[in-house]
Amino acid sequence: MHLTAAARTPALRDLIRYDLPASLVVFLVALPLSLGIAIASDAPVMAGLIAAVIGGIVAGALGGSALQVSGPAAGLTVVVAELVASVGWKVTCLITVGAGILQIVFGLSRIAQSALAIAPVVVHAMLAGIGVTIALQQIHVLLGATSQSSAIENVLALPGSISSVQLPELLIGGLVIVTMIVWPKLPAGVRKIPGPLAAITLATVVALIAGLNIDRITLNGDFFDAISLPELPSGNWGAVALGVVTVALIASVESLLSAVAVDKMHTGPRCDFNRELLGQGSANILSGLAGGLPVTGVIVRSSTNVASGARTRASAVLHGVWVLVFAVLLTGLVEQIPMAALAGLLVMIGVQLVKIAHITMARRTGDLLVYLTTIATVVFLNLLEGVAIGLALAVIIVVWRVVRAGITSEPFGAPGSRQWAVRITGSMSFLSLPRLSKALSIVPGGAHVTLTIDADFLDNAAGEMIADWRRAHEAGGGTVAVEELGKARLADAPVAPPKRHPVSSTLVGFTPWKEKSRSPVDPAEPATLRTLKSGIAEYHRDAADFMRELMTGLSDGQDPDTLFLTCSDSRLVPNVITSSGPGDLFTVRNVGNLVPTDASTDVSVAAALEFAVGHLGVSSIVVCGHSGCGAMNGLLADTPPAGAVGEWLANATPSLAAFRSGHPAGRSAAEAGYGPADQLAIVNVAIQVQTLQRHPLVGRAIADGMVRVVGLFFDIASAKVIEVSTTAVSIPA
């Protein structure tokens, strides 16, 4: 018993310390929002409080997200208002029950993640459209007029409402808007009071002190009087069924997206999405049976919960308890709140649903058309049609992006050389035939053509067009050299169904010449330098424009971060293994990556050190060796290399001596499974690092904290870069 009590004590202490204060803050945020959402939904005011109580307690206790807080949400106001207008409030409650049952079916069938397949841009635009609709409705109440039944009517009636504005309502609603705008800029101590609560309280107090004769919230009975069972419809079952599906889908998607966002805000347990739908469904069933609004996970309350320090689901449950206590004991306070104050709050809620960050992201990712279309259709048609149109457009754009190949056709090379480059990238299907035909038709007869195909998908129709054009072009005296860089091959198109292959990650200057199926562009060209010239032509055709952008700001000077001393071996590409670009590395290469200590032997490395450290001010120096090094094999050979190579490798004598005497880096390399030549290569890196550390110029820079010297080893077989210290090697996982 003592162990059980001891185990419970920390949990109870954490609840009192973290969850209890957080629940009070969330309650203060949820209270005015629940009232405002009920009014915007054309539902009884108490329906918002009923939904807040049940959403907090039931969804908080049963849901899959520990820190998500549920209740009535702005995202369903338009749907609920349309349902209330078409089938009545009691039938709308029945629809909420049906939506909850459908959500439980979703959760039991374990398809919750499928709801996340809806394009986020459509969800963001849907919420923005709802925000615009709410703002258009409530701006009339703010002006002392009556909102209309549709967005178009609200827009058309706006001039009349402005011309007949009621000053008291405008002042009270405007006070709420100004307070909410200013509140985030106030000192942190003041901002401990939630902005919506502060704005509504201030507006209510001002209206009471000034004795303004304006409309206030009217409650028909107390909390328990508002609890009532739903009713069956007298007809129009199609609208009821459509309402059930609409509410269930929107509530599920909004709850799951909110749960995903909440998971990003904390490091605690991750959300169980299927359980979350079970909790949301249970809450909606009870809310509908009790006469409450539909319930969803609400990001505003949830983010407040996390920011307030909540640790467990107890905070969400307690917030529902506080709403219940208020609704039962303090409803008289609610009736003092001016309608214009809640209108100002709802206008701000609507405006805040249109997020600049979402618009910027849509523009940056090419989804702005989907975003704007979804908003427009949600506002001026209805929510379900708007979302459906937005999703359809998003799918069309995705399909277009997937099947649309990049096709270019242009001349290159010296004037009069009659050389043309045709490049095809992406997915090639019959859908691309018109553009492919146009690109091929502009190539003049008799031209020498390089046809580069970097495709992940190529069907027979596209392959047949390319083959027919090639035969006709070659019959007319031209030549066609085909380079197939992607996995989809022309030869496979007529013999098997097309398959999707990953597009090759070919980088100009990275794919070895020998791996390219390149044939000469001009058969008359001599073999000397043919591969090099073809590579240069490919660079001008495919990469020069991109390189020109990278070189912006580098034409007048360099400011590299690192001096990179490495071997001359052709298999070692410094910029690739360090993910660096132009202007990052000041590179010095020699056979065996050596630092001569005798200036009479060679001064090129000393000159590079002096320039890099003394003039360019590099912050690090790297010595990088590699496996399979010919210089190291030469040092271990029974007969040392003769001539200039032998003279140069004399600079590695200290490395060979250290290896033979059992240098720690060599022993570490042996334990890692490397052979003698690679062990020597690693020891050589360690010795060259030590040599640099003793160099007068480098040593002073190290002592001043200006430069670090690092050793690396590139394992060609595994393509791993290994760090080498003066005593050991560090093998990455």
Task: Measure the CA–CA gap between 646 and 653, rounded to whole angstroms.
Answer: 11
Domains of the chain: 16-380 (no CATH), 404-541 (3.30.750.24), 559-730 (3.40.1050.10)
Asked whether the predicted pLDDT for residue 502 surpasses 70, the reply is no
Q: How far apart are CA 34 and CA 73, in angstroms?
A: 8
How many CB atoms are located within 10 Å of the residue 354 CB? 18
For the entire predicted model, the pTM comes to: 0.58
Taking the alpha carbons of 111, 114, 120, 123 in that order, is the dihedral positive or negative? negative
Residue 500 has pLDDT above 80, yes or no: no
Look at residue 506 and tell me whether its pLDDT is greater than 70: no
Higher pLDDT, 459 or 512: 459
pLDDT of residue 99: 96
Residue 296 · residue 258 · CB < 8 Å: yes
Query: Is residue 669 scored above 50 in pLDDT?
Result: yes
What pLDDT is stored for residue 488 in this prediction?
Answer: 81
Nearest Cα to Cα of residue 394 among 132, 131, 124, 127: 124
Q: Are 255 and 296 in contact (CB under 8 A)?
A: yes
Q: What is the pLDDT of residue 525?
A: 55
Residue 542 contacts residue 508 (beta carbons within 8 Å): yes
Q: Greater confidence, 321 or 254?
A: 321
Q: From CA 149, how far away is CA 141, in angstroms rounded?
A: 13
In sequence order, what are the residues at sequence separation of 6 or more whose Cβ sits closer than 8 angstroms to the Cβ of residue 129?
374, 375, 376, 377, 378, 379, 383, 386
pLDDT tens track for 186-203 = 888 887 787 887 888 899
Task: Identify residue 203 by its one-letter amino acid code.
Answer: A
Q: Is residue 212 very low, low, confident or very high in pLDDT (cuts 50, 70, 90)? A: confident
136: enclosing H helix or E strand? helix 120-142
Question: pLDDT value at position 322?
Answer: 93
Tokens of 658: 């250290």
Say if residues 36 and 341 touch (Cβ distance below 8 Å). no
Instruction: Look at residue 60 in the predicted model and tell me its pLDDT.
Output: 94
Measured distance CA(322)–CA(556) in Å, rounded: 67
Any idea how long the chain is?
A: 733
pLDDT, average across residues 691-712: 90
**pLDDT reading at 380 higher than 60:** yes
pLDDT of amino acid 580: 87
In the chain, DSSP finds a helix count (H) and a strand count (E) of 32, 12
Q: What is the pLDDT of residue 425?
A: 86
Nearest Cα residue to 100 out of 251, 225, 274, 273: 251
The predicted-structure confidence for 93-140, as pLDDT tens digits, reads as follows 999 999 999 999 999 998 877 766 677 788 788 878 878 888 888 898
What's the pLDDT tens digit per position in 393-441?
988 888 887 777 789 899 987 777 788 999 988 888 888 888 899 999 9
Q: Is the pLDDT of residue 1 over 50?
A: no
pLDDT at 375: 93
Mean pLDDT of the chain: 85
Cα–Cα dist 635/656, whole Å:
7
User: Given pLDDT bands bounded at 50, 70 and 90, which one contains residue 458?
Assistant: confident
Crossing angle of helices 273-290 and 237-263, rounded to 10°: 130
Model confidence at 515, pLDDT cuts 50, 70, 90, reads: low
Q: What is the pLDDT of residue 263?
A: 83
What is the pLDDT at residue 648? Answer: 92
Q: What is the pLDDT of residue 490?
A: 86
3-class DSSP state for residue 719? coil
Q: How confident is the model at residue 521 (pLDDT cuts 50, 70, 90)?
A: very low
More confident residue, 153 or 523: 153
Contact (CB, 8 A) for 80 and 41: yes
Return the pLDDT at 629. Answer: 94
> In 342-352, which positions are buried (b, 16+ CB within 10 angstroms) versus exposed (e)?
bbbbbbbbbbe
Region 270-293: what's the mean pLDDT? Answer: 95
Is residue 374 within 8 Å of 127, Cβ to Cβ? no
DSSP-derived 3-state class of residue 723: strand
Max CA separation in the chain (angstroms): 108
Q: According to the model, what pLDDT value does residue 404 have?
A: 74
Tens digit of each residue's pLDDT (9 = 90 or more) over 526-553: 555 666 777 777 677 667 767 777 787 7
Q: Would you state the pLDDT for residue 714?
A: 95
Mean pLDDT of 584-605: 88
pLDDT digits (tens, 9 = 90+) for 227-253: 889 999 888 899 999 999 999 988 998
Place of tokens 């046809």: 451
The bridge status of strand 729-730 relative to strand 720-724 is antiparallel
Mean pLDDT: which of 221-235, 246-260, 647-661 is highest? 647-661
* Averaged pLDDT for residues 616-637: 93
Looking at residue 350, its pLDDT comes to 82
Distance (Å, whole) CA 168 – CA 161:
14
